[in-house]
Amino acid sequence: MFKAELSDSNILKTSFDAISSIVDEVQIQTDSEGMRLDALDRSHITFVHLELKASLFDEYVCDVPEKINIDTDEFMRVLKRAKSQDRVLMSVDDNNFIITFEGDATRTFKIRLIDIEYDNPTPPQIDHPTSFKVRFSILKDSINDIDIFSDKIALEVDEDYFIASADGDFGDASIKYLHGENINEHVKSLFSLEKIREMLKADKFSEEAEIRLGSDMPLSLILNMVTGDGNLSFLLAPRLESDE
Amino acid sequence: MFKAELSDSNILKTSFDAISSIVDEVQIQTDSEGMRLDALDRSHITFVHLELKASLFDEYVCDVPEKINIDTDEFMRVLKRAKSQDRVLMSVDDNNFIITFEGDATRTFKIRLIDIEYDNPTPPQIDHPTSFKVRFSILKDSINDIDIFSDKIALEVDEDYFIASADGDFGDASIKYLHGENINEHVKSLFSLEKIREMLKADKFSEEAEIRLGSDMPLSLILNMVTGDGNLSFLLAPRLESDE
Amino acid sequence: MFKAELSDSNILKTSFDAISSIVDEVQIQTDSEGMRLDALDRSHITFVHLELKASLFDEYVCDVPEKINIDTDEFMRVLKRAKSQDRVLMSVDDNNFIITFEGDATRTFKIRLIDIEYDNPTPPQIDHPTSFKVRFSILKDSINDIDIFSDKIALEVDEDYFIASADGDFGDASIKYLHGENINEHVKSLFSLEKIREMLKADKFSEEAEIRLGSDMPLSLILNMVTGDGNLSFLLAPRLESDE
């Protein structure tokens, strides 16, 4: 039996807003410690990991581990119907993932479970030379700034600055942010703007993002809840210059 | 001669927002008691009745009854241009329905009268087994919730609950609302979601809706102004299960 | 060398919102007195003139006059990325017009200069019989009101009123505004609604517009900054009745 109750739907909304734009189907795994999912997009470019600990929930019961296979778009369409003051209840029966919003009325949605053979992917272990924190708003600005001139974005960090930039035919854009961290290397990688945009839909998960970068290495973007009750992380393969 | 003056355009705006999505043309009838219209949509599924009593208006003159035949879309486009602080004046000449908004400037719109042979439909008399009140916001939530999984909505009432629900291929949705009224029957009818959506555009007419339901009977939705100065009501034919 | 620094991007945003919808390319001319541009749209219907005096800027340096030829759409896309609290810096190098927004991060955009043979047009000198001031909001309302029934707008002024009007097949609209100025003539001209809509995008330049009108003469629309630090003006050719 699995049952979880939340007083705020925003964490679910913001994380599945990003997840549903990256992968069509996921397997949510529940056990006594909480809910978890690992997924890899079809083109094997983005890996996403979500963990919501039992402590996040007002009530959480899971005596036997469950695997909940669902269509992420359907779940997102349901989550969008939550109001900020609604309590959210999640459970599962043989055929459905059941989500209930309790407010003025009780609104129950049953999303059909899907039949997927799921080899749960394991997150690649990567040893990045740099790690630093950036305000989420800086990342959002960067992709929208870059979007004027290019569909690729270079992310770069040196002793002083985190820099997002792009060269286009009609112009260049660059965003420079003084990070104030202890970094001794200068690394740079190129990424798809569109893929970064998908990840950044999770902007209400945390006000700050941890970024791990290397030269021509995947980007690791880690969002931790302030309370420590959950995290959402992404790993995005770089674009190589020869892709251009 | 017909002349009517209103200090607030919202009642007109919200009712014609619904009416113009249901019927293309209407005949507004005016007499010393007020303005009134009855209309039936082309497919004979929705009947709409609007009544605005003379007492609603700051000034109201109508010595000889008039029949004002107009295109509802044109009227709605004009009404949308009203600002909340504008006074609204309505009158009629041989060729036009004249609407004036008085604010910083005086803005006058003349909508051509149209030539329709109009057999004013009489509202069907239906004896529903149940009648109860529901907050308008509950109805709006219901159609948007149901929309995720189906284009049909079942409305149901029993001793305790008003229930809107739908079964779809990818999931189910149901909205349960404790009505707190004295109801001794359990009735249920199925309706087109789209047709209900049209009626619910009139959401600023009243915060509360009176619903009358039976089993496989038309839905009656009645909106009364708190002040008692007007009412807007709809009658919607049910969809039979064999429609599916 | 040219360098200009502004604490508020709104004047640039609002003026180029209008300018970029009228002309695709412009030549901005800078000298010690400020920035200036004159442009004529492709169909020779609208003439636009912008002047931003050196006094408008927090810092302004221009020892040698420059001609900055740019694509107005690219510039507008960059300007839209400015936040209200950002400082705006403009400069130029051999190949680029450089715009920097300074806020939480430093965001630099380089827009490629374009190669245009530019015979800078001189504004036609026209002697209008009437001149009066109108609140910008009245003009905006007028075009949106007229839009219901026509794609042409008649602008008219007499001793008492400024009147915008149109006759359409399905109805008429007219906006009457008591101008309170000393006008002794009655003049009227007809214009393209779409062309006026383009000019009115500059609605944050000034709360008031100076209008100069004649009979079947171009419309002159002049926006002056309250501080006297700049002006944006448009001259729009009339549509003759035989155009219809």
Domain residue ranges of chain C, discontinuous segments joined by +: 3-112, 130-236
DSSP character string of A39-69: EE-TTS-EEEEEEEEGGGSSEEEESS-EEEE
pLDDT of residue B244: 47
Q: Strand pairing partners for B188?
A: B156
Given the candidates 3.10.150.10, 3.40.190.100, 3.30.499.10, 1.10.3720.10, the CATH classification of the domain at C3-112 is: 3.10.150.10
Average pLDDT, chain C: 95
Q: Which of B148, B155, B211 is the best substitution to test chain A (most A C-beta atoms within 10 A)?
A: B148
Give me the pLDDT at residue A244, please: 47
A115 interface with B at CB cutoff 8 Å: no
Domains A3-112 and A130-236 share a fold: yes
- State the smallest CA–CA distance between residue B166 and chain A in angstroms: 10
Encoded tokens for C37: 């541009």
Instruction: Specify the higher pLDDT residue, A116 or C214.
Output: C214
A172 vs C: CB within 8 A: yes
With cut-offs at 50, 70 and 90, classify the pLDDT of residue A124. confident
* Terminal Cα-to-Cα distance of chain C (whole angstroms): 51
Query: Residue A242's pLDDT is what?
Result: 56
Residue A134 has pLDDT above 50, yes or no: yes
Query: According to the model, what pLDDT value does residue C123 have?
Result: 82
**Interface contact A112-B177, CB threshold 8 A:** no
CB B16 within 8 A of CB B76: yes
Burial C10-33 (b: 16+ CB within 10 A, else e): ebbbbbbbbbbbbbebbbbbbeee
HEC profile of A176-236: EEECCCCCCCCEEEEEEHHHHHHHHHHCCCCCEEEEEECCCCCEEEEEECCCCCEEEEEEE
Distance CA A147, CA C51 (A): 30
Out of 3.40.190.10, 3.10.150.10, 3.40.50.300, 3.40.630.70, the CATH code matching C130-236 is: 3.10.150.10
> Is the pLDDT confidence value at C242 over 80?
no
Cα–Cα distance for residue pair A25/A116, rounded to 1 Å: 8
Predicted pLDDT of residue A123: 82
Chains that touch A (3 or more CB pairs under 8 A): B, C
Tell me the per-residue pLDDT of C162-187, one tens digit each, with 9 for 90 and over: 999 999 999 999 999 999 999 999 99
The lowest-confidence range among A121-135, B230-244, C125-139 is: B230-244
Q: Which residue has tokens 């004159």?
A: C38
pLDDT tens track for C33-42: 999 999 999 9
Q: What is the DSSP letter of C239?
A: B
Reported residue count of chain B is: 244
Of B84, B114, B86, which is closest to residue B100 (Cα–Cα)? B86
pLDDT higher than threshold 60 for residue C244: no
- pLDDT mean across residues, chain A: 95
Q: What's the average model confidence in pLDDT over A201-218?
A: 97
3-state secondary structure of C22: helix
Contact by Cβ (8 Å): B47, B121: yes
Distance from CA of B146 to the nearest CA of A (A): 9
The H-or-E segment that residue B84 falls in is none
User: For residue B175, what is the nearest residue in chain A, using CA coordinates?
Assistant: A107
Which of these, B108, B103, B63, lies nearest to B85 by C-alpha position?
B103
> Please, are residues A242 and A191 in contact by the beta-carbon 8 Å criterion?
no
Alpha-carbon span B99 to B101, nearest angstrom: 7
pLDDT along chain B (244 residues), means of 10: 95 97 96 97 95 98 96 98 95 97 97 86 91 97 97 97 97 97 97 97 96 98 95 96 56
In contact, C110 and C159? CB cutoff 8 Å: no
Average pLDDT, stretch A75-103? Answer: 97
Spatial separation of the C-alpha atoms in residues B71 and A8, rounded to whole Å:
46
Residue C118 binned pLDDT confidence (cut-offs 50, 70, 90) = confident
Mutual orientation of helices C10-22 and C72-79 as an angle, nearest 10°?
150
Beta-carbon count within 10 A of B83 CB = 12
Q: Is the pLDDT of residue A243 over 70?
A: no
Contact between chains at B148 and A104 (C-beta distance less than 8 A): no
Structure confidence by residue, pLDDT tens digits, A47-72: 999 999 999 999 999 999 999 999 99
Q: Is the pTM higher than 0.90? A: yes
Q: Which chain C positions have a beta carbon within 8 Å of A170's beta carbon? A: 71, 74, 111-112
What is the mean predicted confidence (pLDDT) over C60-73? 97
Tell me the mean pLDDT in the region A152-160: 98
Q: Which position has the token pair 């050196």?
A: C54
B107:C148 CB<8 A: no
Alpha-carbon span B54 to B35, nearest angstrom:
7
pLDDT of B242 reads 56
Touching B (3+ Cβ pairs <8 A), the chains are A, C
Rg of chain B over all Cα atoms, to the nearest angstrom: 19
Give the burial string for A226-237 (b: 16+ CB within 10 Å, else e): eeebbbbbbbbb
Residues of chain C contacting B108 with CB distance shorter than 8 Å: 172-176
Distance CA A94, CA A243 (A): 46
